[in-house]
Amino acid sequence: MNRPRRRPAALFVSDLHIDAAHPAIGERFLEFLARETRDAVALYVLGDLFETWVGDDDPDDAQRTVIAALRDLATRGVPCFVMHGNRDFLLGERFAAASGATLLPDPVLITLHGERALLMHGDALCTGDRAYQRLRATVRDADWQRRFLGLPADARRALAGAARAGSRAHNAALAPAIADVEAASVAAVLRAAGVGTLIHGHTHRPGTHRFDVDGTARTRIVLGDWYDTGSVLRWDEDGFELVRLD
Ligand code: MN
């Protein structure tokens, strides 16, 4: 992000996976908010801001710090939009009120600099992983969520820990192609939305993919994770640029 060009840009990030056990990631994000959002027109977090989220009543210290920093960003007049990821799909209205962020549905269509783009977390596109899609349907169900959120916080934490361990074992056994998005599902969402650009995260495979659907040129931009360095998409009126933070 050392380029001289500094037009007002929308910034997109995802897959930070912030929690108190990995303080460097939270610090990296705070530094990014302090240094890189001065000329921002908006910040979009496309899921998995947090490593885990078992309810708005139980943030850890790292998460509280990030919520306060997002609140500062909103106070400076930079709107922040947060989409659920597969880790933090329980982010709710209390989180939104505390952070000043607006929760986004997945998928959602935005218009920026006169161009439209479809935003997703990306897990819904990994349709080759049938077991995961079944689990996703279960935990996104309103009744399931109500029952889960009715449990005491330590029970929720214990269940989330077990779910993460199960997910790690499941992912380790997956073929790489199954852990990625499925081309037919990408084509289907672009076709349904009638747009040329899709921005998502989740797969931790940053890159820009250009391809045709129904004879029309399309672009899929994949945001990277924040484990070692930050990954940011800057989108200004000249176009977009996917960058790694130093
Ligand atoms: Mn994810």
| pLDDT 10s digits, 224-245 | 999 999 999 999 999 999 999 9
Ligand 1 centroid–CA 1 distance in Å is: 24
Q: What is the pLDDT of residue 3?
A: 54
Q: What is the pLDDT of residue 137?
A: 97
Q: What is the pLDDT of residue 5?
A: 57
CATH fourth-level superfamily of 9-245? Metallo-dependent phosphatases (3.60.21.10)
Ligand 1 centroid–CA 225 distance in Å is: 9
Ligand 1 centroid–CA 16 distance in Å is: 9
> Which residue in this structure is represented by tokens 């990954």?
231
Ligand 1 centroid–CA 2 distance in Å is: 28
Share of the chain above pLDDT 70, in %: 98
Tell the burial category of 245 from Cβ atoms under 10 Å away from its Cβ (0-12, 13-18, 19+). middle
| Domain range summary for the chain, segments of one domain joined by + | 9-245
- The per-residue pLDDT for range 131-165, each reduced to its tens digit, is 999 999 999 999 999 999 999 999 999 999 999 99
Ligand 1 centroid–CA 170 distance in Å is: 14
Ligand 1 centroid–CA 73 distance in Å is: 24
Residues of the chain short of pLDDT 50, as ranges, are none
Q: Is the dihedral of CA 182, 188, 191, 194 positive or negative?
A: negative
Ligand 1 centroid–CA 4 distance in Å is: 32
Enumerate the β-bridge partners of residue 76: none
